[in-house]
Amino acid sequence: MLGFATVPVINGKGKLIVDVPESQYQIYFLFSIAFASALMLNELLFKPRYSRRASVAQSVQRTFQQERLLLLASIFFVSATAWFIVLLFMTPELFSFSSRSDFVDSKPFLYSFYLISAIFSSVLLVLAKKYRWIVLPAGFVFFDLSLGSREFFALFLFSNVLAFMFNLGDLRLVRKLGYFVLGLFLLYFVLVYKYSYVHLHAGDYYEFFYRFINFEFVRKVFALSESAIVQGNLFLILEHNFSLSLSHLLPGLIFVTPIHRSWVGIELNPLGRKLESQVFGDLDYGIAGNLLGELYAIFGMFSIVILFLYFILFFWFINQLLSSRDIIFRVFGFVFSFYALFYIHRMEFYELAGMFRILVFVCLIPYLVYLFVWSFRKGGG
């Protein structure tokens, strides 16, 4: 966590300052111990069924025939195209926004559907080892990236890298130095891009590319990156002794179900909004959520145990998905693990639950179509 080393905090005047509070170091250390302990216990208790290189190759060839993978990848790509066309009819102004805030405010609920469908398609193509074809679904992801968003670009990289490593079998990064270097470069690009894309939109290509090699600018980007800023929320919770009741998690439970919160009269009041109101009053921008801070505000030091149990549960759940013989469950595991085990520093509980619901919904129709088409082809054969 970048926030463990550098903790930018928003002061009362709305300016960023860099601080390293000792209390936050202690909490981060305990959170890190919980994560490492859960990871080691998971290795001991939940052995995946594809732990050997030879069995991986055989399992892929036996369980996921290339024809099925390509069929499902095609259906997801068609689904992505359909959702994108619907989006263009609903919000044509997405092509003419003047700032990222305008873009965020104008996004409809179903904006992510075409991107998630495209990412599912790309993961299936990786599993089928049709790497050149990935350029087709990747086009949707790069369109979103050009608008200033980075979440789905990160999801695209994360999910496809996991799928690619699955194809390789057991490996050590020290023996694949090129992959390690490529991973560092992509991380560097994602962090710097956020503070550079405005020049790309303005047509100032020189300044856009110059920022990637400007050492002073890059140093500030890493010191004040979004990852570190979001972790500053935990410091605010500690500094102001901020607390939440257990009922704060109730909307998140609703988000797991098909029921919309408005149907049952539940009003959403995220942690970021509560922090903003209590600590700063009114700001011109929002404060992002943070699951670690959210757990600490509810459970205090007991949140260490809660986080440990959370990681144990989701390590097991992801292992079950990745060990499944069903195509869709394994691909779902590649994608959902990004949110459940990696992106939690940037999300609140209701957002994690909401993304789970969206992923299930986006998967459902293409998978039902796949089952129908496959059974029809099988019966016709």
Q: Quick: pLDDT tens for 102-130.
A: 666 667 778 899 999 999 999 999 998 89
Could you tell me which residue, 309 or 29, shows the higher pLDDT? 309
Could you tell me which residue, 212 or 179, shows the higher pLDDT? 212
pLDDT at 208: 74
CB neighbour burial string for 129-165, b if at least 16 within 10 angstroms, e if fewer: eeeebbebbbebbebbbeebbbbbbbbbbbbbbbbeb
Instruction: Map 174-216 to HEC letters.
Output: HHCHHHHHHHHHHHHHHHHHCCCHHHHHHCCHHHHHHCCCCHH
Query: Mean pLDDT for the chain?
Result: 75
Q: Is the pLDDT of residue 12 over 60?
A: no
53 pLDDT tier (thresholds 50, 70, 90):
very low
pLDDT at 351: 85
Average pLDDT over residues 308-331: 87
Q: Is the pLDDT of residue 249 over 50?
A: yes
Which H or E run contains 158? helix 151-168
**In a 10 Å sphere around its CB, with 0-12 CB exposed, 13-18 middle and 19+ buried, how is residue 261 labelled?**
middle
pLDDT at 95: 64
Could you tell me which residue, 262 or 88, shows the higher pLDDT? 88
Q: Give the predicted TM-score (pTM) of the model.
A: 0.77
pLDDT at 2: 35
17 pLDDT tier (thresholds 50, 70, 90):
very low
